[in-house]
Structure 1
Amino acid sequence: MNEQPTSTRIALKWGLFLGLTLILITLVMYVTDQSTNGLFNILTLVAMIAFLVLGMREYKMSTGGYMTFGEGVGLGALLSAIAGLLSSAFITFYNVVIDPTIQQRIFEQTRDKLEDQGLSDEQIDQALEISQKFQSPGFTFIAGVFGTLIIGLLLSLVIAAIIRQNKANPFD
């Protein structure tokens, strides 16, 4: 029996791959103490684009070369949500259990960058005080999931518009 994979299965598969890739990127970032390095943000974005394209292409091929815009966006959103859940769970676990001092080191690196930009101590203290309010494990997890979902959804809008291929006769 030759079963066609569903969009949910494809999103789960590529969401798991993306989630594991985001975990690996985060782990390298934390271990090398490069939490404020923008290169990791670019690497994350490239990984998201690559896995969204791979997921949508697989779905399109499994349906005989057709994928509507809505199917692509839905698949991308689900794929991103799965990846966000995985990577956010890892980041929360890492920050709470493996290395609870990581947040403090990130704040110190941020302070150094803000000092290099010429901000006063008062401005830096105020900025760091505001950002510390959003560093609870629960908020970090929820923000990570929704952040990944929103970025994935925005990327999916563009990628699905490029990859989509509607049937000439929608009643076939």
Structure 2
Amino acid sequence: MEQEITPRQVGLKYGLITGLGYVAYSLVLFLTHAYTNNSLGWLSNLILIAGLVFACREFRAGFYNTMTLKQGISVGFWVVLLSTIISAIFTYIYIEFDKELLEAMREQAMFDLEKQKLPEEQLEQAMKMMDWFLSPEFLAGSTLIGGIIVGMIVAVIVAAVMKKDPENF
């Protein structure tokens, strides 16, 4: 008797692979100081899209060559959840131990604020807030929340494109 493949099984497998892809990509960005380039940050979405497409393809192939939208979203949920948790944990650990990275982020934020020619008191207030926004806890939390929200939007789109409903007999 064959055991059917489940969305969770496939999703967790590709969530781990996608999460490790995020870690490798983030590590390259951090080590090369390319994290300040916003256009490179959006490239991480390609890692997610690839993970979701491969996960949906594997699920469909192992499930009688069909996948409903609901099943595709379920696969996507597990991919997004696990990969985002891995990414958030890595972000927290890396930023917690690399104080130079936080200092470089603060300097960039200060430079950006000074370009706006804010009054001195507003500049000081903005920098106090920036210290909170640039804490490892906030950055990891925003990675987690933002990753799940954006990831689920992408997962629904990929599931809608990849779905293949069963043939009616």
Q: Is the pair's TM-score, using the shorter chain for normalization, greater than 0.5?
A: yes
Matching residue of 1:83: 83
Counterparts of residues 1-172 of structure 1 (less than 5 Å): 3-97=3-97, 99-116=98-115, 118-120=116-118, 122=120, 124-169=123-168
- Cα offsets for 1:7-47 (capped at 9, x unmatched): 21211111111111111111111111122112322210111
Unmatched runs of 5 consecutive residues or more in structure 1:
none
Residue 68 to residue 131, structure 1, CA distance change in 2 (3 Å): farther
- Are 1:35 and 1:106, in contact at CA under 8 Å, matched by a contact in 2? no
In 2 relative to 1, CA 70–106 (structure 1 residues): closer, same or farther, beyond 3 Å? same
- 1:78-126 CA-to-partner distances (Å, cap 9, x unmatched) read 11110011111111111112x123112112123334445x443645544
Amino acid at match of 1:120: L
Contact 1:88 1:144 survives alignment (8 Å): yes
Deviation (angstroms), 1:129? 3.0
How many pairs were matched up? Answer: 168
**CA contact under 8 A between 1:25 and 1:40: conserved in structure 2?**
no
More helix per residue: 2
RMSD: 2.2
Task: Say whether the 8 Å CA contact 2:35–2:41 is kept in structure 1.
Answer: no
How far apart, CA to CA, are the structure 1 residues paired with 2:45 and 2:113? 24
Shift of residue 140 of structure 1?
A: 2.9
Structure 2: which 5+ residue stretches go unaligned?
Answer: none
Q: Secondary structure at the match of 1:133?
A: helix
**Alpha carbons 2:105, 2:134 under 8 Å: kept:** no
Q: Percent identity?
A: 27
TM-score when scaled to structure 2?
0.87
Q: 1:166 to 1:31 in 2, by over 3 A?
A: same
* Pair 63,36 (structure 1): closer, same or farther in 2 beyond 3 Å: same
- Cα 1:164–1:130 change in 2 (3 A) is same
Report if the CA contact (8 A) 1:68-1:165 is conserved. yes
TM-score (normalised: structure 1): 0.85
- Please give the alpha-carbon distance, in whole angstroms, between the structure 2 residues aligned to 1:127 and 1:16: 37
